Amino acid sequence: MAYEELKARQSVVWGNGPYQRITEAIADLHTHVIDRLEPESGVRWLDLACGTGAVAELAAARGATVTGLDLAPALIETAKERAQEQGLAIDYVVGDVEQLALDDGSFEIVSSVCGVMFAPDHEAVARELARVTKPGGRIGLINWTPGPGVADLFRIMAPFQAAPLPSNPFEWGEEKHVRELLGDAFELELEKHVSPFALESGEAYWELFSTSYGPTKTLVESLGDRSEELHRAWVDALETKYRVNGGIVQQREYLLVLGTRR
Ligand SMILES: C[S@@+](CC[C@H](N)C(=O)[O-])C[C@H]1O[C@@H](n2cnc3c(N)ncnc32)[C@H](O)[C@@H]1O
């Protein structure tokens, strides 16, 4: 599948379902990136692939002047409603992280939590990160690694997909790949961390993702009778790999990428 075709699909796929439920399941990652980037009053902050706006909200609440950008119009709509409810002035726009309609050097901080990793053209994303970050400005990315965690979910779904992804999002969780993409433009600091995610069962995990995580919900809807096969494969894999006494604890491994624009 070509990159442009994938992105046209993804702009719908990611908005399929109440994504806010998933956002809440990665709240620890939002706090982590905010704590490390330390928003200051008035700083110009861009949150890329912002989803329903968790990081944008935290940065704006601390006084940053925030723009949030995402490919999925449905998620931007939810983000706008949430900002209005909370009385936060956040500039939300629909856009593509591979091609930002934003000026060179226009942000002091650029963040993305489990976000830019899902755009297929990694080099284009890296170019845009370097272009819009002001010299001396900072980036903070959180990327799932190819190890235990969310990559397992994509491995479970892969045999059911009509076509493989044209590039591998989880390469953004590998230090070597990130250094190749961003090392020339940014002074980098890379750290591996684990986010534990606890639920009562593999079945509860399936309920959450099959109803609320766009890529899984869309796949389920495309499978017809075969969706039960995916359901079984999902629950079996999680119960086998992550069962501890009394429930499921998935150790989700991620790479925190901190960089200062040279
Ligand atoms: C796993 S969600 C993360 C959302 C949010 N950052 C959070 O932490 O809750 C991935 C997000 O990347 C967005 N996305 C995927 N490809 C994109 C692209 N090319 N440009 C902009 N956003 C994109 C999706 O629409 C989705 O909101």
CATH of the domain at 83: 3.40.50.150
Q: Quick check: is 208 in a domain? A: no
State the pLDDT at residue 91.
Answer: 98
Q: Quick check: is 31 in a domain? A: yes
Q: Quick check: is 215 in a domain? A: no
Q: Quick check: is 63 in a domain? A: yes
User: How many Å apart are CA 108 and CA 105, to the nearest integer?
Assistant: 8
Q: Quick check: is 206 in a domain? A: no
State the pLDDT at residue 39.
Answer: 85
Q: Quick check: is 232 in a domain? A: no
The binding-site residues of ligand 1, defined as CB within 6 angstroms of any ligand atom, are: 7, 10, 14, 23, 26, 49-51, 54, 70-72, 75, 96-98, 113-115, 118-119
pLDDT in tens, 144-187: 999 999 999 999 999 999 999 999 999 999 999 999 999 999 99
Q: Quick check: is 220 in a domain? A: no
How many folded domains does the chain comprise? 1
State the pLDDT at residue 66.
Answer: 98
Q: Please say whether the beta carbons of 129 and 110 come within 8 A.
A: yes
| Domain span at 127 | 3-145+165-196+252-261
The average confidence (pLDDT) of the chain is 97
By most ligand atoms within 8 Å of CB, the mutation choice from 22, 46, 50, 94 for ligand 1 is 50
State the pLDDT at residue 245.
Answer: 87
Q: Quick check: is 86 in a domain? A: yes
Strand (E) positions, 78-220?
Answer: 91-94, 107-113, 133-144, 186-199
Whole-number Å distance, alpha carbon 71 to ligand 1 midpoint, is 7
Q: Is the pLDDT of residue 1 over 80?
A: no
Q: Is the pLDDT of residue 87 over 90?
A: yes
| The model's pTM | 0.97
% of the chain exceeding 90 in pLDDT:
98
